[in-house]
A and B are shown apart, each in its own frame.
Chain A
Amino acid sequence: MQTYEYAIVGNSAAAINACDAIRARDPEGSIAVFSEEKYRCYSRPLISYLVAGEITTQGMYYRPANYYRSAKVDFHKESRVVTINPAKKLLTTAGKEKIKWRKLLLATGFMPFMPPVKGLAEVGYLTFTSWDDARKMLAITNKPAKALVVGAGLIGVKAAEALHARGAAVTMVEKMDRVLPLALDERASALVEERCSGMGIDIITGEGVNSVESLGSHQGRASVSDGSEIDFDILVMAVGVRPRTELAEAAGIKCRGGIQVDERQLTSEKDIYAAGDAVLAMDIVLGKPTLNALWPVAALQGKYAGANMAGEEVPYPGCNSMNSVEFFGLPVLSAGIVNPPGSGYEVITREDSEGEYRKAVIKGDTLVGMLMTGKIERAGILTSLIQEKANVKRIKSCLLDEGFGHINFPHSVRQDRIVESLAGLNKVEAMRGRGG
């Protein structure tokens, strides 16, 4: 039976960044990566770019073709891990392979959440979360198609945009009263909605799909809660995602709506680590373990998991909710809290011209959230202030100015950030400040 020093379940952002972090510290220890898909590591968020024709299939790959070979990683493709045994340090795959490991990383990611919609099982719907889904979408939209997208979150709106680029007539149905209700605030949602409507996308908010009826392989008819019926050639279900914890739970690893880890990304079981979209990890802004199913967060967790697996004790500095997406040419960036959950927050907004909207959310003297649309230059300075929990009392009035920058910081802070930071960027403290 083969034994690996490191076995990694998953092959996306967390897994690959863990591989890199392990190799940087342990050049020889054997590494195996298990993926249920047939593709080398690709960037899941790019499938909308692929469908829209903005990138080629080559542009999908996160690492060069020789990555696994040059990193000395055994890539087990189409090899779904079905059980893990923490006591025996064993895993089995769907192909009945048995593999031993010394350290294991669970980077199992997310899976689409399906609401109880009558008849859904009979319709060949897509979730727009995998390369295979993108291929099916490309094939179906080779002919003029009517598309129905259920759910107007990030995946739903990007799917609608991609379908529109393919020439499909798109209708989007969202249960909440606006598009991107969780990622954005009301104003930014309205700006995105205007863009979508302007491109001819039909948006129905405040309604859900009650049932669907199959009219062929992927065609069907949906009954909407407002009483209307919508015929479709392609149905995208983008209601939300859930962490894939089933493998961890079956192995007795502690989960609570996500795999629980300590600050080394270690689970409740010895030598089993977890990172990425399936994991409850420290959110700097919320101050508690949180699911942030986002590529940059998964990558950062993978990096720290890998370092710890290779024996270097570095605590995960925490991250926060963050999104950078462009919808029909309108860039939208956000970090931290964009919709204050109660009182006790100070909100500053400005909109110099239509579509150039900015918002800062402050609690006490700390910036806890920001949102920018249109002009997004230098947004990262605000993100860094959020992550450093910097006191912004004296710079509050200019935070959202177009020229805002280090010039607005006190001289000593500026000196520290720009010049002194060069000396010790490797230090954990520096990593903490910059989120990576």
Chain B
Amino acid sequence: MIRIVPKEEYCIGCRLCEIHCIVEHSKSKNMVKAYKSERRPVKRIEVEEEGHVSFALQCRHCDEAPCITACLSGAMQRDAESGAVINDPERCVGCWTCILVCPYGAVRRDEAERKVVGKCDLCPDLETPACVANCPNEALVIVED
């Protein structure tokens, strides 16, 4: 499966990854509409920044994923095909146990939409995840294992 690795030595903290993540997970996949006329999706990637140091972090899709084991409803599962850890919004009840156990802080609440959690899904509709494809300085790279 693919993994996304952040390179803090290249990250300029522009947060384009956050913006393109939001757009890719929006209804229209149009940047202006996603921000201005539709319900804005929760970002599934977070730029951490202090001084001149920054990097972007999203779900690591851990091999031994604590969120899958801890999930109360069985909504958090590994996708057999892609290997990605995927949350099924139909089964998620919004108990936030995944938020409690994720060591990366990579699961977020989507309070607007039935409280389901938003997390990186590796952009199943794209060849390259939006955050990686739109990083201007290759501060997010893909490794395959």
- Interface code A19-50, partner B: CB below 8 Å = 1, 0 otherwise? 00000000000000000000000010110010
Listed stretches B18-26, B33-41, B96-104, B122-130; interface member: B96-104
Interface size range of chain B in the complex: 35 or more
- Interface code B69-105, partner A: CB below 8 Å = 1, 0 otherwise? 1101110000000000000001101111111111111
B-side contacts of A352, CB under 8 Å? none
The docked-state distance in angstroms from the alpha carbon of A384 to that of B72 is: 19
Question: Given A377-B108, A383-B100, A418–B6 Cβ distance below 8 Å?
Answer: yes
Interface size range of chain A in the complex: 35 or more
The docked-state distance in angstroms from the alpha carbon of A384 to that of B49 is: 21
A-side contacts of B6, CB under 8 Å? 418-419
A355, CB-defined interface residue at 8 Å? no
A-side contacts of B145, CB under 8 Å? 422
The docked-state distance in angstroms from the alpha carbon of A379 to that of B96 is: 10
Picked from B64, B70, B93, the residue with its CB within 8 Å of the CB of A299 is: B70
- Using a Cβ cutoff of 8 Å, how many contacts connect chains A and B? 137
A322, CB-defined interface residue at 8 Å? yes
A378, CB-defined interface residue at 8 Å? yes
Establish whether residues A326 and B72, one from each chain, have CB atoms under 8 Å apart when the complex forms: no
Tell me the smallest distance from the CB of B57 to a CB of chain A, in Å: 6
Establish whether residues A324 and B50, one from each chain, have CB atoms under 8 Å apart when the complex forms: no
Establish whether residues A436 and B63, one from each chain, have CB atoms under 8 Å apart when the complex forms: no
Which residues of A, 220-254, contact B by the 8 Å Cβ criterion?
Answer: none
- Interface code A412-436, partner B: CB below 8 Å = 1, 0 otherwise? 0010011101100110001101111
Question: Given A62-B74, A405-B105, A422-B145, A380–B99 Cβ distance below 8 Å?
Answer: yes
Establish whether residues B64 and A426, one from each chain, have CB atoms under 8 Å apart when the complex forms: yes
Tell me the smallest distance from the CB of B48 to a CB of chain A, in Å: 4
Nearest A-chain residue to B69, judged by Cβ: A436
Establish whether residues A426 and B63, one from each chain, have CB atoms under 8 Å apart when the complex forms: yes
Picked from B49, B50, B69, B109, the residue with its CB within 8 Å of the CB of A296 is: B69
Tell me the smallest distance from the CB of A293 to a CB of chain B, in Å: 14
Establish whether residues B97 and A324, one from each chain, have CB atoms under 8 Å apart when the complex forms: yes
A311, CB-defined interface residue at 8 Å? no
A406, CB-defined interface residue at 8 Å? yes
A17, CB-defined interface residue at 8 Å? yes
Picked from A59, A331, A333, A418, the residue with its CB within 8 Å of the CB of B57 is: A418
Picked from A55, A377, A406, A417, the residue with its CB within 8 Å of the CB of B99 is: A377
B32, CB-defined interface residue at 8 Å? no
The docked-state distance in angstroms from the alpha carbon of A384 to that of B55 is: 20
B-side contacts of A380, CB under 8 Å? 66, 98-105, 107
B112, CB-defined interface residue at 8 Å? no
Which residues of A, 359-408, contact B by the 8 Å Cβ criterion?
Answer: 376-381, 383-384, 403, 405-408
- Interface code B1-44, partner A: CB below 8 Å = 1, 0 otherwise? 00101101000000000000000000000000000000000000
- Known pairs A326-B96, A418-B104, A426-B64; list 7 more (Cβ under 8 Å): A54-B93, A322-B101, A326-B95, A383-B101, A422-B143, A422-B145, A435-B101
